[in-house]
Chain A
Amino acid sequence: MTRHMKMDNADTRRRLDDMVQGAVGAPLDRPDGPLKVTGAAHYAAEQPTDALCYGVLVRAPAAKGRLLNMSTNAVMALPGVLAIVSDERMLRNPAQGTANEAPVQGVHEIAYFGQPVALVVAETFEQARHAAQALQLHIETTDEAALDPLAVEPEIPEDKQSSMGDLDAAMKNAVYRVDETYTTPSHSSAPMEPHASIAQWEGEQLTLRGSYQMLKYNRNELADSLGIEPKNVRILAPYVGGGFGSKLGIAPEAVAAALAAKKLSRPVSVAMTRPHVFETTMRRSETRQRVRLAADAQGRLTGIGHETLVSNLPGERFAEPVTQATAFMYRGENRIIGQKIARLNRTCAGSVRAPGEAVGVTIVENAMDELAEQAGIDPVELRKRNIPEEDPTRQVPFSSHKLAEALDAGARGFGWEKRNAIPKQVRDGEWMIGMGMASAFRVNMLKEAQARVRLNANGTAEIESDQTDIGTGTYAILTQIACDMLGLAPENVTVRLGDTDLPPGSGSGGSFGAASNGTAVFLACEELRLQLATAAGCAEPDLTLKDGKAIVGNRQVIIAELLPSTALEATGHIEPGDASSKVRQATYGAYFAEVAVSAITGETRVRRMTGAFAAGRILNAKTARSQCLGGMVWGIGMALTEALEFDPRYGQIANHDFAEYHIPVNADVPQIDVILLEEHDDWANPLQAKGLGELGICGAGAAITNAIYNATGVRVRDYPATLDKILPGLET
């Protein structure tokens, strides 16, 4: 039995409020926690496999050229070497998220430094690594590589340019105006688990244990890459060691492992090294952003301009959607939004946590800080004055809008009233102290998803979906939804995920996993409730389920007694519909940060941070808070340390490891307060829940750089705010 729903209108029933089990929203510990803290959860490269051999990727040490040949014979003679695979089906770079087909393939045309050209397979990892290092490549480099985004003629796609009213006139007539250009560097997702795959064939049937986020797409991408039918591919990813966008699409190691395993008739494991992850998966594009703000005497915006330059490889359709939130953030009837794309021979650009808003909102929030100072208006108040009554671009209502509440709650929790608005006024020994804030915005999405729920004769339930849990808490929140809908304790609900043999979920990406797959589970449970109500002889709304018992009127029976001898099973199926075009759906929040900047070295330390967020119904208070913490810490990294540095001569990433690409460490992160606001967004889905995995990073960095300005009077418009950019300003 399948219950299907298309989200065309608001669902005002709020069925979860009728449930009495009390699991949804509670701070339930992750059900997968005990396996993860004991090392018993098997990630991609860890499944015990007989006769396993090891492959190591060999990559092009040139940004552009043509592979002519390689020293195959010499390397095949090395101890333990089983095969060298160099095949036109190998991937140039990973597929983009939801691509559903193979990305650009081939090993002969080199498009970036680090492009895979071969896989060396040997009996042991040590033999394969040595042989891969010994493989000599003959690459012809005739054409000049395009390495500098400012040195190439960019594409100006028509569908990425838009305007409203007359921004130039608005700027001319404005009482206060900002017109600044900011830059953000390339970022790496850097999940702790490097991309890895074990490929194993049985006849024509391929099983791949991989580290992937969106299995229903990955299966099609892998099949298309290999030229086989999707039905012959099964992907397993029950545990994924972080993704942050870098594991959305099938990646080179999976296809290489599958080709080698086929050739050798043996299972092959290919794990990327850390430098491979940096150079051969995905990066967030660097951005150059010109922001124009025009405001009247009261600080009300009359115009917004946001024009950006990003980059990607030739042939890639993805372009960092920097201005995604600019359309609805603030009021202003005169607008110009534009994007240019430079085609470069650099590591592929793709989705990295909150593509678009992570860098776009951050920069607009820096410009808003500049406007606030110019107009002499408190930055919180300036934002409240500019909250639009409806989506100013599409002229549709907001489904729900909690920015003002988030600003107030965050300011109160942080103690914003203690801030001295004049820069350079607060000292603590050698440390200059400052406070800054920024708003958070992120679009909200719903994606097609299915899930199967089985209620067993013994009163336990099982949930099945190919959805992944990449640290997001999927195991926990799906458990909680089923607990409430079916009146079960968490220990009586089992969740099976990450297997393409199970019903297709939405995949993990774009913060839509919880809402989409949670709704699929909700719908399946609604169908089961209907069947239970029929068995109990009542209408479904009159059925109360709690602690394994069904309560109808003054009767109480064990749920198991209502069940047939075999299990009851239902599939829930949600599809997005017109709701997303009838209203503007988004999530909102506010960040507040206090920094200390050393007057001697220019080093910035974040002393404390507060974030207040509204993302619809909170499904698990504990995992939701963790998502927000994580996002805000990414903001610390973006603000202070993270930048991929490309060698201007040869195009390689010069800092392709954790020693040189600095993600925040424990000592960089203070205790962080997270305030989750109560909100129920009926337009989002029947759970009234919205995405939360990315909201924490959508402007967090700006709160820190704005605080640096408050501390020092130095505006850093070129991220990250490293010592060298702050120190010269302190000397004057």
Chain B
Amino acid sequence: MKTDLLINGNRRTLDADNRTSLLDALRHHLGLTGAKKGCDHGQCGACTVLINGRRINACLTLACMHDGDEITTIEGLGSAEALSPMQRAFVNHDGFQCGYCTPGQICSATAMLEEIEAGWPSHVTADMTAKPSLDEHEIGERMSGNLCRCAAYPNIVDAIRDAAWRDQE
């Protein structure tokens, strides 16, 4: 079935099997392999992309459900020549080793900062009405949907704090 997607600012028309997940549409049909398939079950977060600004596991949604949606993938956040502040911070803080979970981590972190900015509380937020802080517990909680077997977690937390701090400057 035909689906119109606005991906990284470009209009793309997909004509794929209805069973095609958004992740497989990106990877197999649209040449965007930055979103990774780590589990295909919504358990690892490697496929995280942004739909209309919100983070989502692209493996858990069908492409044909997103007609007209704005989709941002890792390729839309920056390029090797022009890294986004979050991408730059991941490189500087060694927020990855093998790099396979990394696009998902960065998409997730980028949206997560907006969630904090919007005042969304998390499981570990003490005061539900105040603006959540950016301490390691908040970041750790909010980033626990993105697994990293190389276990760069402490560096990921540092990278996110660094990027958020630069953003506020």
Contacts and interface: CB of A to CB of B under 8 A. Distances in A.
Interface residues of B, number: 65
B151 A34 contact: no
B17 to A, nearest CB: 5
A667 B137 CA distance: 7
A732 interface: no
Interface in B79-118: 79-81, 83, 87, 90-92, 94, 96-103, 106
Contacts of B124: 667
B99 A241 contact: yes
Contacts of A667: 124, 137, 140-141, 143-144
B33 A242 contact: no
A626 B94 contact: yes
Contacts of A274: 38-41, 43-44
Given A38-B75, A241-B98, A29 B151 contact: no
Contacts of A473: 97
B154 interface: yes
A239 B101 CA distance: 13
A127 B140 CA distance: 39
A193 B38 contact: yes
Contacts of B46: 192
Contacts of B16: 124
- Most chain A C-beta atoms within 10 Å of own C-beta, residue among B91, B99, B101: B99
B56 interface: no
Contact of B87 (A38, A273, A622): A38
A623 B154 contact: no
A428 to B, nearest CB: 15
B157 A35 contact: no
Contact of B17 (A124, A239, A658): A124
Given A46-B33, A193-B36, A672 B154 contact: yes
B8 to A, nearest CB: 11
Given A126-B19, A192-B149, A666-B146, A39 B43 contact: no
A478 to B, nearest CB: 16
A665 B144 contact: yes
Given A274-B40, A630-B97, A37 B151 contact: no
Interface in A206-251: 239-244
A133 to B, nearest CB: 12
Contacts of B145: 665
B153 A666 contact: yes
Which range holds the interface residue count of chain A?
35 or more
A634 B101 contact: no
Contact of B96 (A36, A40, A54, A658): A36
B152 A30 contact: no
- Most chain B C-beta atoms within 10 Å of own C-beta, residue among A35, A46, A672: A46
Nearest to A29: B91
A471 B149 CA distance: 11
A39 B38 contact: no
Contact of B155 (A32, A38, A54, A629): A629
Nearest to A52: B28
A40 B39 contact: no
A38 B94 contact: no
A484 B30 CA distance: 43
A719 interface: no
- Most chain B C-beta atoms within 10 Å of own C-beta, residue among A36, A41, A242, A472: A36
Given A38-B79, A241-B36, A471 B155 contact: no
A39 B75 contact: yes
Interface string B121-163: 0001000000000001101110111111111111111000000
A38 B99 contact: no
Contacts of B151: 629-630, 632-634, 664, 669
Interface in A663-699: 663-672
B3 interface: no
B143 A39 contact: no
A627 B152 CA distance: 9
Do most interface residues of chain A lie in helix, strand or loop, or is the interface mixed?
Answer: loop
B28 A125 contact: yes
Contact of A37 (B20, B37, B106, B143): B106
B66 interface: no
B98 A191 contact: yes
A192 B98 contact: yes
Contact of A666 (B35, B39, B143): B143
Interface in A1-47: 29-30, 32-43, 45-46
Contacts of B136: 670-671
B158 to A, nearest CB: 9
Interface string A181-213: 000000001111110000000000000000000
Given A33-B91, A471-B99, A633-B151, A658 B31 contact: no
A470 interface: yes
A657 B39 contact: yes
A221 to B, nearest CB: 22
B130 to A, nearest CB: 21
Given A38-B80, A629-B154, A666-B140, A43 B91 contact: no
A241 B20 contact: no
Contacts of B80: 34-35, 38, 40
- Most chain B C-beta atoms within 10 Å of own C-beta, residue among A37, A46, A665: A37
Interface in A46-82: 46, 48, 54
Given A244-B149, A664-B153, A666-B143, A30 B94 contact: yes
A659 interface: yes
Contact of A659 (B28, B43, B83): B43
B35 A39 contact: yes
Interface in A89-147: 124-127, 130
B78 interface: yes
Given A192-B38, A658-B43, A672-B154, A34 B31 contact: no
Interface string B8-43: 000000001101100010011001111111111101
B150 A242 contact: yes
- Most chain B C-beta atoms within 10 Å of own C-beta, residue among A29, A472, A667: A667
A623 B45 CA distance: 24
B74 interface: yes
In the A-B complex, the 6 residue pairs with the smallest Cβ-Cβ separation, listed nearest first, are A39-B34, A241-B100, A471-B98, A36-B99, A471-B97, A633-B151
16 contacts: A30-B94, A33-B90, A34-B81, A37-B78, A37-B90, A126-B17, A130-B19, A191-B100, A241-B36, A241-B100, A273-B40, A471-B97, A657-B41, A658-B44, A663-B149, A667-B124
Given A30-B94, A34-B87, A668-B144, 5 more contacts: A48-B31, A241-B100, A242-B149, A471-B96, A671-B154
Interface of A: 29-30, 32-43, 45-46, 48, 54, 124-127, 130, 189-194, 239-244, 271, 273-274, 470-473, 622-623, 625-627, 629-630, 632-634, 657-659, 663-672
